Amino acid sequence: MNQSQVMVVNTTKQRESGHKAQMSNIAAGKTVADVVRTCLGPRAMLKMLLDPMGGITLTNDGFAILRECEVAHPAAKSMIELSRTQDDEVGDGTTSVIILAGEMLAISAPFLERKIHPVIILRGFQKALEDAQVILRSIAKRVDTNDREQMLSLIKSAIGTKFVSRWNDLMCNLALTAVQTVVRRSDDSEFVSVDISALKPTGAAAVDAESTKPVAGGDAAASTTGSATDAAAPATTSVSAAVASVSAVVADASASSAPDVDVREVDIKRFVRIEKVPGGEIEESRVLDGVMVNKDVVHPKMRRYIENPRIILLDCPLEYKKGESQTNIEITREGDWSRVLEIEEEQIKAMCEKISALKPDLVITEKGVSDLAQHYLVKNNITALRRMRKTDNNRIARATGAKIVTSVDELKEQDVGTGCGLFSIEKIGDEYFTFLTKCKEPKACTILLRGPGKDTLNEIDRNLQDAMCVARNVLFNPYLCPGGGATEMALSVQLAQRAKSDIPGVEQWPYAGVAEALEVIPRTLIQNGGGNAMRTLTELRAKHANGLTTWGVDGEKGVPVDMNEYGIWEPLAVKLQTIKTAIDSASLLLRVDDIVSGTSKKQ
C-alpha cells in the first residue's frame, strides 16, 4: 500500500541542516573576522564606510565598522552582536573578540569533518575557558589606581592602536581627568571631590607599597599580587611547573576577580559629555571643570558673565498654562477681554516672583520661557536659558549642586545650586556656547574637542570613549595583563602543555585547539606590523616555554619584545571578557545544526 508523502516543514523556505549548517556558520564567522583582521594593532589600517544617507565613517574601531555593515547571514549577525556586547561591557577589545571568535570557529571545522560530536568539542572549549581564566589571573599584576603616571601609561597602551595615537599625552590626560572627575566612591558621604587644575594622586585608597610596585624583568608570573597570584610560577621555571600551579590557583581565583576597591560608580555615559566643535587645533581640546551646552540667553539684555551664580533648575514652562481641552470663552463686554489678558499676566508674574524670592542669578528650564516671563526676569536681573535637554540638565544639577524642580511652587532654598564658580557665554565659530565652569566639586564634566573636520572629531570621540572605558575598568578591577599578544601567547603555551598532560580522551583535541586559536592575536599583530609571523611566533613560544610570560609583539615592527620594558599593559577585565565572549559565542554557533530562513528559495 502506497503511503502519501507528508510535508511537515514549508519546502518553499531556504533551509540548511546538519553538517552543512555548521560549516555555513563557520564560514560566516571567518568572513566577519577577516573584515576587521587588518584593524588590530598600532599599524592598523582604516576602513572607509559609506552609509545609505551618503555619510562617511572613517575608522579602525571594530565595533564602529561592524555596526555599519549590512549582513544577511544569521551567524554573521550574531558575530556582530559580539562586538556590541564587548563595547557595552568593557568598551575595548571589540576587534580582538571578533578575530578570536572567528578563529575558534575555524579550528572547529577539522573536528566536525572527523565526525566529532559538537557537544564533545564544546566540553573541551569550556574546560579550556575555565583554565584560561585561572591562568589569566595568575599572570596579572596589581596597579595603584591613585598613581596618575601608571594610569596614563595604561591608557596610552589602550589608544596606541587608534587614530589619536599621535596626540597620546593629550588624549590620555583628557580621558583620565574626565573619569576621575565623575568617580563615586563607597566611603564618601557625597560624591568624591576632584580639583581639575592640579589633579594629584591622593592617599585615600592607598595600596600597600609592596603590592603596587612595578614588576621588573621577566618576573611577572612570580611578582604578581593578590591571592590569585601567590602560587604562580617564577620566571625561570618551566611550563610544566607553571601548569602545575594552575590547580593551586583555582581555589583563590574568585578572590582576585573581585578586588577590594572602594569605587562604587563611574557613569561615563550620563555624566561625561563630549562636545565636538569643528575648527581650531586638536591641541586646544580640554576637560572643563563643569558643564558646557550649546545655548544662548533668551533675552539680549540678560547678563552673559556671572561669577559665583545662584542657579535654579526647572522642569516646567514659564508660560501661561493653557487648558488641556479646547476652551471657548464668550465675552460680551470689552472690560472682560482686558481681564482675561490680565489673568494671564498675573499668573506669569506670580511665577516669576516665586523664582525672584530666592534671589537666583540664573534660571535654566527644560521647557519654554514666554516673552512676558523674560521681561519680569530681566527686571529682576535674572538670566534665563530655555529648552535645555534632560541629560544636560542632569549634568548641570550634578556639577552645581542644584536640584531639578518640577514646579515653581515647590522651590526651596536648598534647591538652589551654589557650586558653580563662573557662568559665561562664549562664541566659538558661528555658535554660542554656555559655560558653567570653576565648579567646587565637579561631579560631571564636559570634554571640549576641537579639530579640523567632522570625520576627524567623530573618530577622536570614539577613541576617547575607549580610553575612558579602560580607565573605568581599572578603577573597578585594578589588575593588568601584559599586552602586545603576550597574554594570549602565555595562555596558548600553558593550555597546550596542559592538554598533553591533564586532559584525557577526545576532549584533548578541542582543548588544544583553543590553545592554537589564541595564537591568532600575536600572529595578526606580527602580520599587520610587517614582520615574519612564523619566525617571531617560534621565538615567542620559546620565551614562554621558559616561563617569560611578559614577552609579546612590538606592533610597530612585528618583533618580540618584553612588555615590562616596552610598557604595554591591558586591563584584566578586558582580557577576561574577550576570551569569555569569544569562546561562548563560538560554542553557541557550533550547537546550531539547522537554519530555516524566513525568505523563500530563489527561483
Assign 3-class secondary structure to 507-552: CHHHHHHHHHHHCHHHHHHHHHCCCCHHHHHHHHHHHHHCCCCCEE
**What is the CB neighbour count within 10 angstroms for residue 79?**
28
The contacts of residue 188 (CB under 8 Å, 6+ apart) are: none
Model pLDDT, residue 291: 92
User: What's the rounded Cα separation, in Å, for the pair 83 and 575?
Assistant: 14
Q: What is the DSSP letter of 365?
A: E
Model pLDDT, residue 52: 79
Grid cell 578541542 is found at 510
Element of type H or E holding 141: strand 141-142
Q: Per-residue pLDDT for 202 more than 50?
A: no
Q: What is the DSSP letter of 110?
A: H
User: Residues 488-506: what's their mean pLDDT?
Assistant: 87
Give the confidence band of 310 by pLDDT, cuts at 50, 70, 90.
very high
User: What's the rounded Cα separation, in Å, for the pair 70 and 60?
Assistant: 17
- Across 8-17, 291-300, 338-347, 389-398, least confident range: 8-17
Q: Which of 446, 457, 472, 447 is nearest to 92 (CA)?
A: 472
Model pLDDT, residue 214: 39
User: What's the rounded Cα separation, in Å, for the pair 469 and 88?
Assistant: 9
Q: Per-residue pLDDT for 226 more than 50?
A: no
- Across 71-85, 285-299, 392-406, 438-452, least confident range: 71-85
Q: Between residues 291 and 210, which one has the greater pLDDT? A: 291
Give the confidence band of 129 by pLDDT, cuts at 50, 70, 90.
very high
Model pLDDT, residue 304: 92
Residue 4, classified by CB atoms within 10 Å of its CB into exposed (0-12), middle (13-18) or buried (19+), is exposed
Give the confidence band of 11 by pLDDT, cuts at 50, 70, 90.
low
Residue 361: HSE in the Cβ half-sphere, 13 Å Cα cutoff: 17
- Across 33-47, 125-139, 290-304, least confident range: 33-47
User: What's the rounded Cα separation, in Å, for the pair 195 and 393?
Assistant: 22
User: What's the rounded Cα separation, in Å, for the pair 284 and 208?
Assistant: 38
Q: Are 131 and 239 in contact (CB under 8 A)?
A: no
Q: Per-residue pLDDT for 79 more than 50?
A: yes
Element of type H or E holding 568: none
**Where in the sequence numbering do the catalytic residues fall?**
61, 94-95, 466
Give the confidence band of 436 by pLDDT, cuts at 50, 70, 90.
very high
Model pLDDT, residue 212: 37
Helix H, strand E, coil C: the string for 190-210 is: CCCCCCCCCCCCCCCCCCCHH
**What are all long-range contacts of 45-53, with beta carbons under 8 Å and residues at least 24 apart?**
45/528, 46/163
Q: Per-residue pLDDT for 313 more than 90?
A: yes
Give the confidence band of 243 by pLDDT, cuts at 50, 70, 90.
very low
Model pLDDT, residue 308: 92
The contacts of residue 302 (CB under 8 Å, 6+ apart) are: 377, 378, 382, 383, 384
Mean confidence (pLDDT) of the chain: 80
Q: Per-residue pLDDT for 595 more than 90?
A: no
User: What's the rounded Cα separation, in Å, for the pair 556 and 252?
Assistant: 37
Q: Between residues 9 and 488, which one has the greater pLDDT? A: 488
Q: Are 404 and 313 in contact (CB under 8 A)?
A: yes
Q: Per-residue pLDDT for 9 more than 70?
A: no
Q: Please give the sequence-ordered ranges of beta strands (E in DSSP) within 262-354, or none if there are none.
A: 263-266, 272-278, 286-288, 291-293, 305-307, 311-314
Give the confidence band of 209 by pLDDT, cuts at 50, 70, 90.
very low
Dihedral class, residue 370 (left if φ above 0, else alpha if ψ from -120 to 50, else beta): beta
User: Residues 343-359: what's their mean pLDDT?
Assistant: 89
Q: Between residues 264 and 512, which one has the greater pLDDT? A: 512
Residue 77, classified by CB atoms within 10 Å of its CB into exposed (0-12), middle (13-18) or buried (19+), is middle
- Across 241-245, 398-402, 491-495, least confident range: 241-245
Q: Per-residue pLDDT for 363 more than 90?
A: yes
Distances (CA, A) of 177 to 117, 198, 277, 444, 447: 52, 10, 20, 11, 10
Q: Per-residue pLDDT for 378 more than 90?
A: yes
Q: What percent of the chain has pLDDT over 90?
A: 18
User: What's the rounded Cα separation, in Å, for the pair 368 and 577?
Assistant: 46
pLDDT digits (tens, 9 = 90+) for 157-187: 777 777 777 888 888 899 889 988 888 776 5
| DSSP string across 396-416 | HHHHH---EES-GGG--GGGS
Q: Are 479 and 256 in contact (CB under 8 A)?
A: yes
Q: Are 551 and 566 in contact (CB under 8 A)?
A: no
